[in-house]
Amino acid sequence: SDVVTIDLYRKMGSQNAKKLSIVAAPSLLKYAAEGLLPLDLLRWYKLAQPEKSFGLCETNYPSRPVEKWTAVKSIAKRGKTTTESVKYEREFDAKESSDFYQKLMNRPSAFEASINKASGRLIIRMNPLVAGHQAAAHLVRGRGLGEDFVRSIDVSYSLSELSRMGEPKTKEFHVPNSDAFEETPVDGMELPLYSRQAKALTRMRDIEA
């Protein structure tokens, strides 16, 4: 075939993406300045809700395998004193992890690049729906939200020069901390919890209650 696909996500993805940025960025910025790109830089474009709500599509963003916490006991001897402690280790099912990795590698790409050897053209395509599903998945999954609420989420995208992107806007989001909670003592640990850890434990128990 005269069209050769450039790997942007697999084994050589990182190196190819860097080289592509160096080669293509100047021309793309030039075309943008001349108004020759199909989209305007820094302008937000709203995406229509797909058939499968943003954030819930397993094809575009497969669910991570279920994590399991296993208690591991250990015994430490110091002189005549024997101390038993319990630590919890996170585990994932090996088959589920393998299946997740394969689905992750086979999911649609937000960006695709190829070269037409016959014409000498570099072709860059993007699929903002993929990026929309990935972004929304972190907001809606695991929260017990209904389908109607999920479909009310608006997803938009914009093109931006990397150097002008700056830091993400986070002022709209408030992440509560555990400062207002009392400390929960935990017996049987080799080392005591820090104050902030003991307060966080109280907060987590309060959420689960």
Helix (H, G, I), strand (E, B) or coil at 37: coil
Which residue reads 């570099």 in tokens?
122
- Reported as type and span, the H/E element at residue 157 is strand 155-157
Distance of alpha carbon 148 from the chain centroid: 23
Which residues are registered as beta bridge partners of 46?
A: 156
Amino acid at 87: K
What digits encode the pLDDT tens for the residues 79-102?
Answer: 778 888 888 888 888 899 999 989
Regarding predicted confidence, which is higher, 63 or 10? 63
C-alpha 129/C-alpha 59 separation (Å) is: 11
What digits encode the pLDDT tens for the residues 122-137?
Answer: 888 889 999 999 889 9
pTM of the model: 0.61
What digits encode the pLDDT tens for the residues 40-76?
Answer: 888 899 999 888 889 889 999 898 888 888 888 888 7
- Which pLDDT value is given to residue 165? 53
C-alpha 68/C-alpha 94 separation (Å) is: 12
C-alpha 104/C-alpha 137 separation (Å) is: 14
- Reported as type and span, the H/E element at residue 15 is helix 13-33
Q: Does 187 score more than 60 pLDDT? A: yes
